[in-house]
Amino acid sequence: MNLFQIVQALRQGKIPPVREIPEPLVDAVAAAASLRGRWTPLSSVERVLAAFRHKEPDRVPVTPVLCSGARQITGISFPEFALDAEKAAEAYVAGFDLVGGDVLVLLLDLSVEAADFGQKILYPENSTPRPDHSDPCVKTVEDYGRIRPIDFSQARRMQEFVKLCRLVVKRVGLRGLVTGFVFGPLGVLSMMRGAEALFKDCVLYPAEVRKACETITGVLLEFVQAQAETGVPAIVIDTLYASRNGLSKELWEAIEGPFAREISRKIKENGLLVGVHNCGHDLYFDAQIRSMEPEVISFAHLPDDCVSERELKEKYGDSVTLIGSIPTPLLVQGTPREVMEACARQIEVFAKGGGYVLAPGCEYPPNIPLTNAFALVRAAEKYS
Amino acid sequence: MKGKDLLLALEEAVFNRDSASLESLLAGFDGSDVGPSEAIRALAKGMDRVRGRLRDREISIPEFLLSIDVFRQGLRRIARDACEEEPGEDRETRTVVIGVVEGDTHDMGKNIVAAVLEASGYRVVDVGRDVPRDVFLSALKETKASILALSTMMSTPLENMREVIQWTRRLYPDVKILVGGAPLDERIAAALGADGYAESAVTAPEEASRLVGKTRRAAKAAPVPKAG
């Protein structure tokens, strides 16, 4: 990508694909932003770019990861948020305008991909959509082999998510960095089989599970491609089961690892940044880095090879940008002051040298008041 | 195989999640050589060792789930062939009603906790997932349980959990309430009105024991009402 094309993208209000820009140029821009940030406030895009290139911006970038929680602002229901991209986009942008932040993580819910593979989904009025576990798509081990690729153009919920990406990218423009999202193939399968049965199948019938992952990944690659074409500069892959809540490290690397790598490659082919989200306990930073080589990892708990946040920063802070990790229970129950104090502690540990975005460890709890989302954003401004 | 060798082999079958071995060990089991309670205790010992391996990070959840399957397979087999119902001691004070509160269908954690409590000698009444308040209350009434264990992996059903706790407090004040799940910690558990919080299946039996201990101590310490 040459300078003319970069300027053209910016004039269209789009962040150019960072990977297609010569690295020295990206570093120079990040360094210039970092320097300028000592005297004047940066734009969100400058701030995030500096942080991603491990330079210290004017302050720590922040995202409240306000997803379906934002529907409270526009007064829509969970089903409306999940099924109507226009309404979801309106909620996202309203959340961004009201609460603030530098990054918008687009996520409808974790049932999007499974729904298009034929899993029956329940859409409660007051909670997140979920699979109907009484009627799983994959009822037996043999059913793994019966999963067929779907026509992506007819994949209603994934298409709706792509539309959401397009709408939010357009409306937010250069005011913030908007990311896409894809659930890893094992996650999608867990929606279609049930996590418990899937986990056991991974040990007893790994070949069958891998075969299903292969079929699903084929469609996920189309999903990622379609998201990339909307102008999102980064896509997050959710590999929840690469943690102690999921499979052993070896098993995860053997089953989902290769497919996560394919998805990551597809994202990178489009010049986009790769993010990984994993809110499991003792997550496998090392295995996920080996598999996906992400620029960013969003986490809720410490990885299995670190005993403290300081060790996490020392071990991985130079190679990836860390996003996190204000605990969900604190957001649910804590006072804004307690949330801000937790943010201050994390900023103190993680912010030095860039490579950090302050955020909750997982999606902002969708049914609680937004007070603590404000506290999170305010903490980034106050304590950096 | 007989006597102590059989007990050891049963324990190993659970520990090694060896369903086929368990099946052959219990073929023809009638409780005449080794009593059903002894056999169940051997299975439970296997589960306890597996729980230790999970705690020490030597195995992960899928392997643990497979051991649970073998453990339950053994319980079913013994109950069928030797007419054993449940381990007998302290039954009334050791019944646990467990379920996932309404609004959530994630039940893997609940299932694991149910199994480890069962292996630790509790009679477990599993009311399932996405369970309305009244189902919990009916189960408490019917079983005279001493512990109610509630789970959710989502933050959205926390209000439902609070409601179940409040009604339980009102109707069954002696029942101890244990909660667990991703959006919870000790502080939220206390704020919701629960007596205890189990961070994971590894700690659940100890936390349950602590609560039962509390009940027993409270019962012992309570003044005996005078007749008339």
The reported pLDDT for the residue numbered B219 is 43
Q: Mean pLDDT throughout A48-75?
A: 97
Q: What is the CA radius of gyration of chain B?
A: 18
Give the separation between CA B29 and CA B36, rounded to whole angstroms: 9
β-strand partners of B149: B98, B178
| Inter-chain CB proximity B183 and A368 less than 8 Å | no
Interface residue of B70, B156, B202 to substitute, partner A, most A CBs within 10 Å? B156
For residues B213 and B146, the answer to whether their CB atoms sit within 8 Å is: no
Give the start-to-end residue ranges of the domains of chain B. Answer: 3-82, 92-221
Of the options 3.20.20.10, 3.20.20.100, 1.10.1240.10, 3.40.50.2000, the CATH number for the domain spanning B3-82: 1.10.1240.10
User: Residue A326: how many CB atoms within 10 A of its CB?
Assistant: 27
The reported pLDDT for the residue numbered B225 is 39
The reported pLDDT for the residue numbered A384 is 80
Segments in chain B below pLDDT 70: 82-93, 214-228
Give the separation between CA A38 and CA A57, rounded to whole angstroms: 8
Q: Which positions 297-356 of A are in contact with B (Cβ < 8 Å)?
A: 304, 327-329, 332-333
Tell me which residue in B60, B103, B129 faces A127 most closely, judged by beta carbons.
Answer: B103
Give the separation between CA B195 and CA B189, rounded to whole angstroms: 8
| Inter-chain CB proximity B63 and A203 less than 8 Å | yes
The reported pLDDT for the residue numbered B217 is 45
The reported pLDDT for the residue numbered B214 is 59
For residues B125 and B98, the answer to whether their CB atoms sit within 8 Å is: yes
Residue-wise pLDDT for A349-365, tens only, equals 999 999 999 999 999 99
Give the separation between CA A73 and CA A322, rounded to whole angstroms: 28
Please give the CATH number for the structural domain made up of B92-221.
Answer: 3.40.50.280
| Inter-chain CB proximity A128 and B108 less than 8 Å | no
Give the separation between CA B40 and CA B33, rounded to whole angstroms: 14
Interface residue of A245, A253, A335 to substitute, partner B, most B CBs within 10 Å? A245
Residue-wise pLDDT for A286-308, tens only, equals 999 999 999 999 999 999 999 99
pLDDT above 70 covers what percent of chain A?
100
Question: What is the DSSP pairing of strand A234-238 with strand A177-183?
Answer: parallel
3-state secondary structure of A130: strand
Residue-wise pLDDT for A88-144, tens only, equals 999 999 999 999 999 999 999 999 999 999 999 999 998 999 999 899 999 999 999
| Inter-chain CB proximity B187 and A131 less than 8 Å | no
The reported pLDDT for the residue numbered B45 is 94
Q: pTM surpassing 0.90? A: yes
Q: Does B185 touch chain A (CB under 8 A)?
A: yes
Residue-wise pLDDT for A210-227, tens only, equals 999 999 999 999 999 999
Model confidence at A1, pLDDT cuts 50, 70, 90, reads: confident
Model confidence at A9, pLDDT cuts 50, 70, 90, reads: confident
Give the distance from CA A23 to its chain's centroid. 24
Give the separation between CA A147 and CA A157, rounded to whole angstroms: 18
The reported pLDDT for the residue numbered B215 is 55
Average pLDDT, rounded, for chain A: 96
The reported pLDDT for the residue numbered B222 is 40
pLDDT above 90 covers what percent of chain A?
93
For residues A167 and A231, the answer to whether their CB atoms sit within 8 Å is: no
CA A129 to each of CA A81, A191, A201, A310, B111: distance values in angstroms, whole numbers, following the listed order = 10, 11, 25, 37, 22
Interface residue of A123, A189, A190, A196 to substitute, partner B, most B CBs within 10 Å? A196
Residues in chain B with CB shorter than 8 Å from the CB of A247 are 60-62
